[in-house]
Amino acid sequence: MSVIEKSQFEWVGANATEAEKISRPNTSYWRDAMHRLSKNKPAMVCLFVIIFIALLSIFVPVLSPYTISEQHLTHSDQSMFFTDPIDGHMHIFGTDSLGRDIFTRTWSGGRVSLFIAFSAVFINFIIGVIYGGISGYLGGSVDNIMMRIIEIINGIPYLIIVVLLMMVIPPGAMTMVIAYAAVGWTGMARLVRGQIMSLKQQDYVIAAKVMGAKPARIIGKHLLPNTLSIVIVDLTLAIPSAIFTEAFLSYIGLGVPVPMASWGILANDGSRVFQMYPSQLIIPAICISLTMLSFNLLGDGLRDALDPKLRR
């Protein structure tokens, strides 16, 4: 074993400019997170799938030669890629028992299902953040009462409340949103409250308080932005649950009214003729599952990207 002599080393001296130099470009938290997300292949694939489904849902109903309620009784229950002998248009996904074009109905249903999911989750977000924010920031007996209310709402299975609400309010896409949002916000409120409770003990919040910041500023400027990452992940994971609820309600006969289509309604219609024309159930089933899967995986990806410590 060779001995390392002191003379082998040379003192190069302290270089003040070199030491202070930032050798890497600085990034913000969000840019860093986006960079990590873009490295996550499954999450990126899912993001593209979601964008693809959303684009189809937006444009197909507009561009399609058929409408959702147009019936072609001469060629009902046709298989996929059936070409209409009269006008030469192709029914890409075939036709249903009333001869309606399933391709148009599927993407128009996508519109309804995605609209319900996004609006419901958006309302959950608003109510949850405000409720959780107030409860967490004020603490004490206010917090206690507000949390007890949530506990009681959570004690009742949410699907039962949704079913009850759906029966009272006249049917429609907005009704679904209201019914889901009426019980769906509690999870978000709990999450925000927990975050705010731990954040308000942090030194920088106390510093802001000492400098005379008003509660509104502390909540808006310091507390909420720091809960955002967890909230975004939760929102992404709440969308599949909203899509599921829509499908479930449509399936038990509490869906949007005819002739409107939604993925749940299509699955319900398809399941009646499943043994003879399986494609009529499989198409909406794939749409529902693929969308839920994509949002779930994207949510996981976002969680890893936004909080690397939680990564497993």
Partner 1 sequence: MFKYIVKRIAYALLTLLVLTALTFFMMRLLPGDPFIGEKAIPETTLKALNAKYGLNQPIYVQLWMYMKNVLQGDLGLSIHYNRPVNDIIAQAFPYSFDLGMRALVFATVMGILLGIVAAVKRGTKWDTITMLIAIIGVSVPGFIIGAILQYFLGLKLFQATGIRFFPITGWNSFASKLLPSFALSFGSLATISRLMRTSMLDVLGQDYIKTAKSKGLSQKKIIWKHAVRNAIMPIITVLGPIAAAVLTGAFVVENIFSIPGMGKFFVLSIQTQDYTMISGTTLFYGAFLVIANLIVDIAYGFIDPRVKIADAKE
Distance from C-alpha of 160 to C-alpha of 162, rounded to nearest angstrom: 5
Q: How many residues bind partner 1 (CB under 8 A)?
A: 37
Of 135-174, binders to partner 1 (CB under 8 A) are: 148, 151-152, 155-157, 159-161, 163-165, 167-168, 170
What does the block give as tokens for 2?
A: 């060779």
CB of 273 to partner 1, least distance (A): 11
CB of 85 to partner 1, least distance (A): 30
Site string for partner 1, 193-232 (x = CB under 8 A): ----------------------------------------
CB atoms within 10 A of CB 61: 21
Sign of the CA dihedral 209, 211, 215, 220?
negative
> Residue 276, interface with partner 1 (CB under 8 A)?
no
Give the one residue of 102, 235, 261, 288 binding partner 1; rule: CB under 8 A: 288
Mapped onto helix, strand or coil, the DSSP state of residue 91 is: strand
Smallest separation, CB 162 to partner 1 (Å): 10
List the interface residues with partner 1, window 230-259 (CB under 8 A). 240, 244, 247-248, 251-254
Question: What CA–CA distance (Å, rounded) separates 51 from 185?
Answer: 26
Q: From the CB of 22, what's the least distance to partner 1, in Å?
A: 34
Task: Report yes or no: 267 and 281 within 8 Å, Cβ to Cβ.
Answer: yes
| Closest approach of partner 1 to the CB of residue 116, in Å | 15
Phi-psi region of 171 (alpha: psi -120 to 50; beta: other; left: phi over 0): beta
Render 231-266 in DSSP notation, one character per residue: HHHHHHHHHHHHHHHHHHHHHTT-SSPTT---HHHH
Encoding tokens for residue 267?
């699955």
Structure tokens at 192: 């925000």
**Interface stretch with partner 1, choices 86-94, 177-185, 219-227, 285-293 (CB under 8 A):** 285-293
- Residues of the shown chain interacting with partner 1 in the complex, contacts defined by CB under 8 A: 148, 151-152, 155-157, 159-161, 163-165, 167-168, 170, 240, 244, 247-248, 251-254, 267, 271, 274-275, 278, 281, 285, 288-289, 292-293, 296-297, 312
